[in-house]
A and B are shown apart, each in its own frame.
Chain A
Amino acid sequence: MSDVKVDKPAAVPADKKNWRSSGGVRGWFGRQHWAVRTVLIIVFAVLAYLLPYAGDIPVLGPQIITEGIDWPSALFNMSYYVLLALGLNVVVGFAGLLDLGYVGFFAVGAYTVALLTSPDSILKTEWGWLAAVPVALAVAMVSGLILGWPTLRLRGDYLAIVTLGFAEIIRIFATSSETLRGDRGFADIPHPPGSYSDGKPIFGVADATPYYWLGLSVIILVILGVRNLDRSRVGRSWLAIREDEEAAEIMGVRTIKYKLWAFAIGAFIGGLGGVMFAGQQGFMNSQTFILQFSILVLAGVVMGGSGNIFGAILGGALISYIPDRLRGIEDPIFHTDLFGFRFAIFGAIIILIMIFRPQGLIPSRRRAMELKDREKEVAPQ
């Protein structure tokens, strides 16, 4: 009898340490020497740059790459979705502002490029792509401030509705206005500059790989910028606003200023997505900027893990990858392209993720805690 009693505490140690309680992958990563961490990050980045050649991996490669659309193009699509997810994550994940019209900023960026560069534009400026980029980003950022200034005094649902309206206004304006050319759109938007030694342009029509590399490089810069912001006083202010806006205010946080910052930075990154999109496609019209686009990106952020940069990246990549992967696969019942079922399949995947990982695939620890706290409000224990 006494033996059992002595044994018990040993069987259940006071501070149980397991993989999960010591931080899982992130905890393990954080405990490594900085040199190890740097090497790991570089290896990861190099692998990302090599993704266009994923099809060459034996056995596994053909399972990964898309069949109905050429793989580098699919990768480029993923890259601008990831950009959008990163930007929306600043607004929704960091500052906690529900923006349902994020595609609006994507459209502002893309249309500014089109207006400045396309021969179809009434401006007739026909700038190069690169020259239009800073103007487009500035216009996107200003549009974020203009939308934010009156609306960020609103909270929660109201903000969501106003931002939804904003995106629809832009789309309808683009459809009906002569200047933005509606369905006819803008053709001959120039590609990014640069040529190989033999005079062939780097950014051509045939191969999307250089666009993907450009997109990936922009993504890496954005990650660095966003991460630094998140760890700065600005990030701390966003965190406080997201967790309890009133409490943040009585701590001395000038809430409207930081909310505007979140909106402007989000708009900037969204505009960047639009700029990249316009530069690769060469043609765009008002059909590109449908509401569904905003919802999809938001779904990506939530699915990946709102408030976590790497969650947003994963989510953004998946919302583009899953439909593209379904292209060109015949479904067994109706013998049509599975792509037609993309939303049904996609919806099922989202539901499964939300059931098994409600905080997202790579959740933010803090957000998980906040969610718990809110559950308490709904159903007090």
Chain B
Amino acid sequence: MLLELQDVTLLYGRIQALHGISLTVEQGEIVALIGANGAGKSTTMRAISGLRPVAQGKITFDGEDITKMRADVRVVRGVSQSPEGRGIFPGMTVRENLEMGAYTRRNRTEINEDLDRAFTLFPRLKEREKQVGGTMSGGEQQMLAVGRALMSRPKLLLLDEPSMGLAPMLIQQIFDIVVEINQQGTTVLLVEQNAQQALSRAHRAYVLETGRIVKSGTGAELLHDPSVKDAYLGVA
């Protein structure tokens, strides 16, 4: 098991955002978290990457208890996040953004290999190498955010809403790339509002409602589950 959350609760001030989340991600999987706005998907991601401290519960990564570990150390251990709303550095060029992704690493040859890999996955980024991040389109920024998250050579890639605000064509493309990344050996935990895409690409998925996991199963199972269809897939 690569990642395990046991009964994790999290508070924003006095508001409880997560009410005991338990989930697992196995090595090599794509796991999706789906749910409506405010269900706690992004909060779960933030708990895993260490941006928010958890109130109770335990997070285990690669056999190690990381519940109280600092966010920057988690990056070194192999957790990498592509944040919601992309979170790219607007004043840095594409290249500098990608280099920032390799911040914790020193081996120049390996970093250059990974730069090449990012440019192979996203040829568009190569074209825009010297362009400043803030001037790029939403789709390009999303590619940059994913590419940058890969630059730390993560064991686990956390993708927060990779399809947000993108045109349907681009959504397809981003998900194709996510599958490709996964096939190259990176485990992926994905948060999505686009449940159709997420479920059809993921091995397994969890459904979140108001900070609780209400359902879990394989992607295909949930895709055909009547209540999931009703609530998230917009099928009558």
Contact residues of A with B, CB < 8 Å? Answer: 236-237, 239-240, 243-244, 246-255, 365-370, 372-373
Contact = CB atoms under 8 A, between A and B. Distances in A.
Given A240-B103, A366-B91, 4 more contacts: A243-B90, A244-B90, A250-B83, A370-B91
A252 B100 CA distance: 9
Interface string B67-102: 000111001100011010001111110000000110
B88 A369 contact: no
B75 A250 contact: yes
B104 interface: yes
Contacts of A251: 75, 100-101, 103-104, 148, 152
Nearest to A365: B91
Nearest to A243: B89
A320 to B, nearest CB: 30
Given A369-B134, A370-B134, A372-B134, A247 B83 contact: yes
Nearest to A247: B87
B132 interface: yes
A200 B219 CA distance: 88
Residue among A248, A251, A372, A373 with the highest chain B CB neighbour number at 10 A:
A251
Contact of A254 (B70, B81, B87, B92): B70
Interface string B15-51: 0000000000000000000000000000000000111
B173 interface: no
B87 A253 contact: no
Contacts of B81: 250
B91 A250 contact: no
10 contacts: A251-B104, A251-B148, A252-B71, A252-B72, A252-B76, A252-B104, A253-B103, A369-B134, A370-B90, A372-B134
Contacts of B51: 246, 249-250
Interface in B55-73: 70-72
Interface residues on B, range: 20 to 34
B6 interface: no
A48 to B, nearest CB: 30
A300 B103 CA distance: 33
Interface residue SS majority, chain A? helix
Contacts of B88: 244, 247
B92 A239 contact: yes
B89 A244 contact: yes
Nearest to B91: A366
Contact of A236 (B100, B101, B134): B100
A242 to B, nearest CB: 8
A347 to B, nearest CB: 30
A252 B99 CA distance: 12
B135 interface: yes
A251 B91 CA distance: 16
A240 B72 CA distance: 13
A271 B190 CA distance: 49
Contact of A252 (B83, B87, B90, B103): B103
Given A240-B100, A370-B134, A252 B91 contact: no
A210 to B, nearest CB: 41
Contacts of B49: 250
A254 B72 contact: yes
A249 B92 CA distance: 16
A360 B72 CA distance: 34
Given A246-B51, A247-B83, A369 B132 contact: yes
B117 to A, nearest CB: 18
A255 B91 CA distance: 18
B128 to A, nearest CB: 14
A253 B152 CA distance: 12
Given A251-B101, A251-B103, A244 B87 contact: yes
The 8 closest A-B pairs by CB, nearest first: A366-B91, A252-B75, A373-B90, A252-B104, A247-B87, A369-B91, A373-B134, A243-B89
Given A249-B51, A251-B103, A251-B152, A239 B91 contact: yes
Nearest to B70: A254
Nearest to B132: A369
Contacts of B83: 246-247, 250
Given A246-B51, A366-B92, A369-B90, A253 B72 contact: yes
Contacts of A366: 91-92
Contacts of B101: 251
B89 A240 contact: yes
Contacts of B91: 239, 243, 365-370, 373
Question: Max chain B CB contacts within 10 Å: which of A246, A252, A365, A369?
Answer: A252
A52 B100 CA distance: 45
A252 B152 contact: yes
Contact of A369 (B70, B104, B135): B135
B98 to A, nearest CB: 11
A295 B88 CA distance: 32
